[in-house]
Chain A
Amino acid sequence: MAVIPLSKVDAYAGHPEKKLTLYMLMLGFAALLLGTFFGPLQSFNYGGLDLYPYLKPLIQSYYQGLSLHGVLNAIVFTQLMAQALLVYFPARELGYRPNMALAWVSWWMALVGLLIAAIPLLLNAASVLYTFYAPLKAHWAFYVGAAIFVLSSWVSAYLVLQMWLRFKRENPGKITPLVTYMSLIHWLMWFLASLGLVVEVAFFLIPWSFGWIEGVDPLLMRTLFWYTGHPIVYFWLLPAYVVAYTILPKLAGGKLISDPLARLAFLLFLLFSIPVGFHHQFADPGIAPGWKFIHTVLTMMVAVPSLMTAFTLAASLENAGRARGGKGLLGWIRALPWNNPSVLALLLGLIAFIPGGAGGIVNASFTLNQAVHNTTWIPGHFHLQVATLVTMAVMGTAFWLIPHLTGKPLVRPGLAWASMWLWFIGMFIMTFTLHWMGFLWGIPRRAHIAESPAAMEAYRESAAWMVMNIVSGIILLVAAVMFFYVIFATALQARRDFSEHQEIPFAEAISKPEGNSLALMTERVGFWFGVAVVLILVAYGPVLFQMFTNMNPVPGMRLW
C-alpha cells in the first residue's frame, strides 16, 4: 500500500476529547442499529403482517422487540447523542479540554449500564416496554443497568458545568458563548428532570425487583416516570435545537438572526420543560382534574420557545437563502443547499416538526386528549418529533462530525443524501397513518394486533390504512440500511485526510449578546435554576407529598 494512514495518535493529537466524542457517537449508533431493526417489524404488525414467529427462538415476542426498540432508540441512543454533542461542542467553543478522566468514566458507565440492561432485554426477562409500568416487574438487572446508564449523564452534566464555571472565573463579567450557554441549560434542565426517574428506580423498582420490598404504588411510579418522561423529550430535542441554531445557519451559508432570542428560548425550556408531566396522565384516576389543568397551561407555555425557534430558524434560513442569491418571496427556499446531506437532514426534520408540534398541542389539551390517549396517534406524534427531527438532526450532524473527528472522509455522500429523503418520506407516511388510525378508529398503541384474529376483525375498517404501514416500514428499512452503511463505512475505513474539517462550523450571529439586556438577564443561570425549582415545587409538590405519604403498594407480576 502506498497510502500511509495516519496513526490514531496523530488523529487525536491535541484533542483527546475527539476520541471520546467518537466513542459516544458510535456506541449510540450501534444501539440505534439494533433498535431500528425492530421498527419495520412494528410497522408490519400494524399492517397485519406478523414476522415475529420467524425470529424465534432469538426474540420471543412482539413485546420483547418493542421493548428493545423503545429502550435502545428512545433512552440509549438519545442520551448518548446528548453526551457526545453537548460536551464536545461547548469544549471546542470555549477552547477547553473537559476533564478527560471523568469523561471516560461517563463513557464506561454508559457502556456497562447498557450491557447490564441488555442481558434481561435480550433474554425476554424485561419485556416491560420503555415505560416499565409497575406492577409489571422486570428482572433486577434491567433496572440496575438503566440506573447506571442514566447516572452516566450526570457525569456529562458535571463536565459542562465545570467548563462553564472555569469560563466565568477566567472571564469575569463576560457573557457565556452561545453554544456553551445552551449546553449548560440543557444539562441543568436534565439534572432536575432526571430526578423523578432516579428516585423511581433507585428507591422503589430496584429494591422491589430484589424482593426487599413487597410492592410499589403503580400511580406513584407512573407519576415519577412522567415527571422525567416529558422533559426527557426536551433532553432529546435540545441537542437538535443547538445544531439548528448554531450550526445549520453556517452550513446553509448564512447567519443566526438573533443570539439573545436563542438564549431566551433555552431559558424558557429550563423553566417549563418539567412541571408538565401530568399531561401524560390525563386519563389516570387519582390525580385531581384541577392539577391536570394546571399542567395543561404549563404545557402550553412550553410551546412558546418552540414558536420562537420556528421564527428565528426560518429567518436565519431566509438570510442564508438570500445570501446565496435567492430572490422573491419564496426563492430563498430553493436557493438553500438542499444537495448537502447535513443541511437536507435538518431541513426535512424541521418540516416534520411543524405537524409534530401541532399534534403535540392536541395531546396537551386535557379534554381533547381523551380522544387520542394510548392510541396509535401517540407513537405517530412522537415519531415525528424524536424519530424524525431529533434523529435526522443527529444523522445530518454525523455526516460532517465523523469526518471532523477522525479525518476520514464521508463515504458515498449521494447515498447519505438519498437515505435522508427516504427516511423523511417513510416517517411521513408512517406517522400520518398512525395519527389517522388512532384518531379515527381508536386503534390501540403497543398491541400485537397481527397475531390476534379478534383484533384484526375489530379493526378491519382501517385495513386500507394498514397497507400504508407496510409501505412505510419497507421504505424506512431501506433508508436505515443506506444510512448505517454510510456511517459504519465512513468510521471503519483506513483512509484519513486532515486537510478539511478542522473547525466546527459555528454560525455567526447578527444580533449579538454583548450589551443586550435580554442576554444579560438570561445570564443569571443560578437565579433561573431556582425559579425552575420553585415552579416544580408548586406544580408537583402537593400531589407528590400526598402520594408519598399515602402509598398503596401492589405486588409485581410477569405476564409476558
Chain B
Amino acid sequence: MNHEEHVVIERFERGWLVFGIGMIVVFVVLIAYTMANFGGSIPVGTQRIDPTKVRSEGEFANPRIEQIGNEYVAYVQAFAFGYLPAEMRVKKDRKVTFYVTSPDVQHGFMIERTNINVQVIPGEVARVSHTFRKAGEYQIICNEYCGLGHANMISKIVVEE
C-alpha cells in the first residue's frame, strides 16, 4: 500500500466514524424526546412491599380495576401462574394506570400491541399507564420464566367503545 492509498483510507475511516457517531447522537436525542413525551409506558417503582403479605394486606389483597373520574386505576397481582383480576374491562380513550406486583417469583406483564412491558419483581410495585385508542381484546402475556406453568400465563383486557 502506498502513501496515497493510506491517506484515502484514513479519510474514509474518518467519514465512517463521523457518520456512525452522528447517528448515535441522533438516536440518543430521539430516546430523550420519547422519554419526555411518552414516559407513561416506562415502568416506575412506586414502593417496596413484603411479597409474602401481598395476598393478605394492602391494595393488592383486593386486586381490581376501578374507575376514578375519567380514568382507571388497576391493582394487579401477577402470580404463578396467572393474573388477578383475571380479566379487565375499560372504555377506550381513557387513561389506565396499572400498579403491578408479584406475591411469589418474577413475572412479565406485557400487553400486546402496546408499549406496556413490565418486569414484575417480588417486593417492588411497578406503575405504568396507557390509553387504549382502539376497542378490542388485548392479551396480557407473562414474558419472564416463572416455572412450569409459565407458557399458560396469559390473560386479557377488553377495551370497549
Contacts and interface: CB of A to CB of B under 8 A. Distances in A.
Given A307-B20, A366-B35, A559-B80, A289 B44 contact: yes
Contacts of A455: 151-152, 154
Contacts of B125: 285
Contacts of A108: none
A308 B20 CA distance: 9
B46 A285 contact: yes
Interface in B102-161: 104-106, 108, 110, 112-113, 115-119, 121-127, 139, 141-152, 154
A420 to B, nearest CB: 28
The A interface, classified by DSSP as helix, strand, loop or mixed, is mixed
Interface stretch (A202-210, A235-243, A297-305, A516-524): A297-305
Contacts of B147: 63, 136, 557, 559-560
A361 B28 CA distance: 11
Contacts of B146: 136, 559
Given A283-B119, A455-B154, A315 B9 contact: yes
Contacts of A370: 41-42, 115-117
A219 B117 CA distance: 17
Interface stretch (A84-92, A110-118, A371-379): A371-379
B67 interface: no
Contacts of B38: 367
Interface in B1-48: 1, 6, 9, 12-13, 16-17, 20-21, 24, 27-28, 30-32, 34-35, 38-39, 41-46, 48
Nearest to A284: B119
A311 B13 CA distance: 7
10 contacts: A133-B106, A283-B119, A289-B39, A289-B44, A296-B28, A367-B34, A374-B143, A444-B141, A557-B104, A560-B148
Interface of A: 61, 63, 129, 133, 135-136, 217-219, 222, 257, 261, 281-287, 289, 293, 296-297, 300-301, 303-304, 307-308, 311-312, 315, 319, 361, 365-368, 370-371, 373-375, 441-442, 444-449, 451-452, 454-455, 458, 510-511, 550, 552, 554-555, 557, 559-560
Given A63-B145, A446-B150, A559-B104, 14 more contacts: A63-B148, A283-B117, A289-B35, A307-B16, A312-B13, A367-B35, A370-B116, A374-B117, A375-B110, A444-B142, A444-B143, A452-B152, A552-B48, A555-B52
